Amino acid sequence: MQGDYPTTRLRRNRRHPWLRKLVAENHLTVDDLIWPIFLTEGKNQTVPITSMPGVQRFSVDLAVEGAKQAADLGIPVIALFPATPTDRKSPDGEEAFNPENLINLATRAIKEAVPQIGILCDVALDPYTTHGQDGLLRDGYVVNDETVEVLCKQAVVQAQAGCDIIAPSDMMDGRIGKIRRALDAAGFIDVAIMSYAAKYASAFYGPFRDAVGSAGNLGKGDKKTYQMDPANGNEALREVEIDIAEGADMVMVKPGMPYLDIVQRVKATFQMPTFVYQVSGEYAMLHAAAERGWLDLEKVMLESLLAFKRAGADGILTYFAPRVAKLLG
């Protein structure tokens, strides 16, 4: 009878909580978190975002408070995104390189009050253009090289404000090398670049576009001529390889949960500091199901983040960051 049973029993190591802790291969810690926040004009203002329950746009003064709380929780980096007032948007998005735009004001204020937290700034034109595209639109097409020139200006202005990590999310070709050279030429040799290297043309960005107010501008348009086709995996490796060759210090895959295979392949192939963005639609999805009582929010939140670690991510951009940090703390 005994011989019919296995000598190897994997359940042995699952038997007790202490034993499961002992053999756990991956861990989620607060050190893994990057918290994206949205900015709005005014003072003492918070504006809720309907499609992202629990997420608000902060005026700069309250963003400083948020950064303080994040630093106290041990979150290493915050990422800044602006809801640009409509009257500051234009076809070519010049507000992107205004030294006094929301991003730069917030960066200066946070650097001054909370120097111990890292600041990541997104580089792309979509929060600033009247058409909601990430680059310059000429005859209905987002042109590459001319856009890159503007992105370089945007990046340098952000570095001048005190940004620590420049994160180009525009998916133009050649922008990492050009931005690196522009930063170096302006004296910012120590400002890092985290490239949104494998960024897909995803429908999961919907709530973000509400948050920065670009959804109405983009209308029925899409970003398929520059963001990647969800059908492709090998191409993601080419994107990452080129960005590394051009000088990226860290690379990112985006979105997160539907693209864990890409995270895994990127990390295994390049062994670079690899990040993943759990995007607005992923956040909204988990919240919506939890609100209906269909999922346990805390559990699915922690499970989804741990899954990124298992896939090979070194860090995660997530709107859950402060909530997770409190739970882990």
Residue stretches of the annotated binding site? 239
Of the two residues 70 and 252, which places its CB atom closer to ligand PBG in the complex?
Answer: 252
Q: What is the residue-wise DSSP string for 216-244?
A: HHHTT---TTTSBPTT-SHHHHHHHHHHH
- 3-class SS of residue 251: strand
Q: Which is nearer to ligand PBG, 158 or 280 (CB)?
A: 280
Which of positions 216-245 make contact with ligand PBG (CB under 6 A)? 223
Select 124 or 311, whichever has its Cβ closest to ligand PBG.
Answer: 124
Residue choice 70, 71, 124, 324 for contact with ligand PBG (CB under 6 A): 124
Considering the complex, state which of residue 188 and residue 200 has its C-beta at the smaller distance from ligand PBG: 200
> Considering the complex, what minimum distance in angstroms separates the CB of residue 15 from ligand PBG?
39
Instruction: Report the distance separating Cα 176 and Cα 223, nearest Å.
Output: 19
| Window of 17-25, 55-63, 118-126, 263-271 that interacts with ligand PBG by CB under 6 A | 118-126
- From the number of C-beta atoms within 10 Å of its C-beta (0-12, 13-18, 19+), residue 144 rates as middle
> C-beta of 167: minimal distance to ligand PBG in Å?
8
Number of residues that bind ligand PBG (CB under 6 A): 11
Q: Does 33 bind ligand PBG (CB under 6 A)?
A: no
CA distance 171 to 227: 6
Whether cis (ω within 30° of 0) applies to the bond prior to 255 is yes
Comparing CB distances to ligand PBG, the nearer of 180 and 223 is: 223
Residues 6+ apart with CB under 8 A from 138: 146
Site for ligand PBG in 132-171 (CB under 6 A): 134, 169
User: Cα 66 from chain centroid?
Assistant: 17
Residue nearest to ligand PBG (CB): 208
Pick the piece of the chain touching ligand PBG (CB under 6 A) from 122-130, 152-160, 183-191, 265-273: 122-130
Residues written for the chain: 329
Q: Is 320 in the site for ligand PBG (CB under 6 A)?
A: no
Question: Closest distance between ligand PBG and the C-beta of residue 53, in Å?
Answer: 14
Give yes or no for a contact between 66 and 37, defined as CB atoms under 8 angstroms apart.
Answer: yes
280 contacts ligand PBG (rule: CB under 6 A)? yes
Q: Which of 199, 223, 267, 309 is catalytic?
A: 199
- Minimum distance from residue 134 beta carbon to ligand PBG (Å): 5
Catalytic residue at 299? no
| Cα first-last separation, the chain | 49
Smallest separation (angstroms) from ligand PBG to the CB of 20: 32
At residue 88's C-alpha, the angle toward residues 140 and 58, to 5°, is 115
Binding-site sequence positions for Mg(2+) = 239
* Stretch 184-213: interaction string toward ligand PBG, x if CB under 6 A: ---------------------x--xx----
Cβ closest to ligand PBG, residue 136 vs residue 190: 136
To the nearest 10 degrees (0 to 180), the angle between helices 60-73 and 321-328 is 30
CA 16, distance to chain mean position in Å, is 36
DSSP class of residue 200 equals: B
Tell me the C-alpha to C-alpha distance, in Å, between residue 18 and each of 14, 15, 22, 237, 310: 9, 9, 6, 39, 20
CB of 38 to ligand PBG, least distance (A): 10
223 included as an active-site residue: no
Residue 4 burial by Cβ neighbours in a 10 Å radius (0-12, 13-18, 19+): exposed
* Contact residues for ligand PBG, defined by CB under 6 A: 122, 124, 126, 134, 169, 205, 208-209, 223, 279-280
- Residues identified as active-site: 199, 254
